[in-house]
């Protein structure tokens, strides 16, 4: 049930498009070629333990070599990309399988046993992309990850091809399956650890294959934005559940958050209000929208919810202007999504890396650009009861602006975040996660 589909449709067109985009970037920066290195395994200090390998996303843009350390791709204008496909003679670890038929035909492949075989491609006027120590040791540093070239590629990566959208749609499908299993585990009264295991089992992925460490938070743990623990014992009283988890397909990520209440109470009503507001934000994701405006609009909407529930006093406008809304909603509305969970180029406008400023008082917003067709991004408003931020406001803000008794009653529930993955089109937006959950309900 949870197995991933192998996405192949549109792949040849995707490679042709990526080739064209790289050729344009190379020409603009005066390079004849680029060699993109997958990266090497990283060994723990004073040990023989190797950390789980994460491939260079610049290589993953071309082909799904998620487990292929020390491979490399040579990109030259007008020529089929050449892949140095590293397959060591190894009996300690399982080496990579032979290249898969569905992608191999798009590349000139040289299967190599030497992890440095790519060095035969070192040539003048070539850019080198990656962070492997062997790469840094072998090439001129001025041609290693040249800033303007990398920036151009990052800007190109923000517009997804049909193949990429298909991968992310499938990742959303897997995420919806896993989230549904996690909610069921929460309703059964399981611990954070057991809920996480149920999540992974539902889609047959291990932790290293997830796009990021799952946030599996019961009760007040939901107020820790990047909560990293998985408590193995369930609390005596389970009040609420926040889960932020995704899946990957050919290295493309989904990033989904849901929040649940154990009983019908005021916190459940808060979730309902936040869910309705988040739906409206998702509907507003259209080409040409300045994402900063949507982020600020979300603050006004959340301040309205806080006021409606009697959590804050005073006007909505004052709550946003004074920073009170940020006490309850301290993070950004969302970010680009793709080969990286927090995908690239969310904050800059051009190859020079010129920053598009965040709104004043909103230092954690990860996306400040105007949206374009082909962008995939998250919409993830939140409302939390975070003790350090509340304490800071009590010490230096307008104490009367908060209903402290109401806050005390809701703090044990932690917080609320609802997150969907949106595709910007030339018309109405597509909610990739919404589609995935709706399909499950019909099944």
DSSP 296-357: HHHHHHHHHHHHHTTSB-S-HHHHHHTTHHHHH--S-S--B-SSSSS-S-SSB-STT--B-P
Q: Say whether both 118 and 229 belong to one domain.
A: no
Strand partners, 216: 243
Q: Say whether both 243 and 129 belong to one domain.
A: no
Q: What is the pLDDT of residues 209-218, one digit of tens each?
A: 999 999 999 9
Give yes or no for residue 277 having a pLDDT over 60: yes
| Distance separating alpha carbons of residues 381 and 270, to the nearest angstrom | 13
Mean per-residue pLDDT, 376-380: 98
Percentage of the chain exceeding pLDDT 90? 96
Single out the residue in 145, 176, 202 at which a domain terminates.
145
Domain annotation covers residue 295: yes
What pLDDT shows up at residue 3? 63
Strand partners, 112: 86
Q: Say whether both 402 and 340 belong to one domain.
A: yes
Mean per-residue pLDDT, 378-404: 97
Q: Say whether both 211 and 347 belong to one domain.
A: yes
- b/e per residue, 318-336, with b = 16+ CB within 10 A? ebbebebbbbbbbbbbbbb
Q: Say whether both 371 and 399 belong to one domain.
A: yes
Q: What is the pLDDT of residues 420-433, one digit of tens each?
A: 999 999 999 999 99
Q: What is the pLDDT of residues 227-275, one digit of tens each?
A: 999 999 999 999 999 999 999 999 999 999 999 999 999 999 999 999 9
Give yes or no for residue 8 having a pLDDT over 90: yes
Q: Say whether both 131 and 91 belong to one domain.
A: yes
Q: Say whether both 373 and 430 belong to one domain.
A: yes
Cα separation values, 111 from 2, 79, 182, 421, Å:
32, 19, 42, 37
The answer to whether the Cα torsion of 293, 244, 413, 224 is positive or negative is negative
> Can you say how many angstroms the Cα of residue 167 is from the centroid of all Cα atoms in its chain?
14
Q: Say whether both 128 and 201 belong to one domain.
A: no
What pLDDT shows up at residue 73? 98
Q: Say whether both 67 and 175 belong to one domain.
A: no
Cβ atoms of 266 and 222 within 8 Å: the answer is no
Q: What is the pLDDT of residues 295-352, one digit of tens each?
A: 999 999 999 999 999 999 999 999 999 999 999 999 999 999 999 999 999 999 999 9
Parallel, antiparallel, or unpaired: how do β-strands 430-431 and 420-423 relate?
A: antiparallel
Cβ atoms of 62 and 22 within 8 Å: the answer is no
The average confidence (pLDDT) of the chain is 96
Shortest CA distance to 224 belongs to which of 344, 385, 73? 385
* 93: containing domain: 11-145
Q: Say whether both 268 and 331 belong to one domain.
A: yes
Single out the residue in 89, 115, 145 at which a domain terminates.
145
Q: What is the pLDDT of residues 23-70, one digit of tens each?
A: 999 999 999 999 999 999 999 999 988 899 999 999 999 999 999 999
Q: What pTM was estimated for this model as a whole?
A: 0.96
What pLDDT shows up at residue 121? 95
Q: Say whether both 206 and 341 belong to one domain.
A: yes
Domain annotation covers residue 151: no
Give yes or no for residue 1 having a pLDDT over 80: no
Instruction: Give how many domains the chain has, as a whole number.
Output: 2
Shortest CA distance to 312 belongs to which of 298, 301, 325? 325
Cβ atoms of 32 and 78 within 8 Å: the answer is no
CATH code assigned at 77: 3.40.350.10
Single out the residue in 145, 179, 201 at which a domain terminates.
145
Band of the pLDDT at 93, cuts 50, 70, 90?
confident
Q: What is the pLDDT of residues 181-207, one digit of tens each?
A: 999 999 999 999 999 999 999 999 999
Shortest CA distance to 240 belongs to which of 215, 213, 214, 221? 221
Give yes or no for residue 2 having a pLDDT over 80: no
Strand partners, 384: 415
Domain annotation covers residue 70: yes
CATH code assigned at 217: 3.90.230.10
Domain annotation covers residue 105: yes
Q: Say whether both 66 and 31 belong to one domain.
A: yes
Backbone φ and ψ of 58, nearest 5°? -65, -30
Domain annotation covers residue 83: yes
């Amino acid at each position: 049930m949870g197995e991933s589909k192998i996405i192949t449709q549109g792949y040849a067109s995707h490679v042709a498009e990526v080739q064209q985009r790289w050729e344009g970037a190379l020409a603009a920066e005066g390079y004849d070629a680029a060699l993109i290195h997958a990266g090497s395994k990283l060994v723990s200090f004073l040990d023989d333990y190797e950390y789980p390998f994460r491939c260079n996303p610049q290589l993953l843009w071309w082909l799904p070599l998620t487990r292929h350390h020390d491979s490399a791709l040579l990109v030259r204008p007008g020529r089929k990309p050449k892949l140095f496909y590293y397959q060591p003679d190894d009996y300690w670890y399982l080496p990579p399988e032979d290249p898969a038929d569905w992608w191999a035909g798009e590349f000139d492949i040289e299967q190599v046993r030497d992890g440095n075989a790519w060095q035969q491609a070192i040539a003048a006027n070539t850019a080198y992309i990656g962070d492997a120590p062997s790469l840094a040791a072998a090439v001129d540093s001025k041609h290693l990850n040249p800033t303007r070239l990398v920036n151009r590629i990052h800007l190109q990566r923000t517009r997804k091809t049909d193949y990429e959208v298909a991968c992310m749609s499938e990742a959303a499908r897997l995420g919806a399956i896993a989230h549904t299993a996690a909610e069921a585990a929460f309703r059964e009264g399981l611990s954070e650890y057991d809920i996480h295991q149920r999540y992974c089992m539902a889609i047959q992925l291990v932790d290293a294959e997830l796009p990021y460490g799952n946030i599996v938070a019961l009760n007040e743990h939901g107020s820790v934005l990047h909560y990293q623990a998985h408590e193995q014992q369930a609390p005596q009283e389970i009040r609420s559940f926040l889960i932020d988890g995704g899946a990957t397909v050919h290295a493309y990520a989904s990033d989904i958050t849901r929040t649940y209440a154990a009983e019908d109470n005021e916190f459940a009503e808060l979730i309902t209000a936040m869910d309705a507001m988040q739906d409206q934000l998702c509907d507003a994701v259209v080409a040409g929208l300045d994402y900063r405006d949507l982020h600020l609009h979300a603050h006004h909407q959340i301040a309205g919810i806080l006021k409606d529930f009697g959590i804050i006093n005073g006007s909505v406008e004052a709550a946003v202007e004074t920073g009170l809304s940020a006490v309850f909603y301290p993070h950004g509305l969302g970010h680009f999504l793709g080969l990286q969970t927090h995908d690239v180029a969310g904050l800059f406008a051009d190859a020079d890396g010129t920053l598009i400023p965040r709104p004043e008082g909103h230092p954690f917003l990860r996306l400040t650009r105007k949206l374009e067709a082909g962008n995939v991004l998250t919409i993830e408003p939140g409302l939390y009861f975070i003790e350090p931020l509340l304490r800071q406001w009590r010490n230096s803000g307008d104490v009367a602006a908060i209903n402290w008794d109401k806050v005390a009653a809701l703090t044990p529930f932690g917080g609320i975040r609802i997150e969907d993955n949106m595709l910007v089109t030339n018309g109405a937006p597509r909610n990739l996660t919404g589609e995935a959950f709706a399909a499950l309900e019909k099944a």
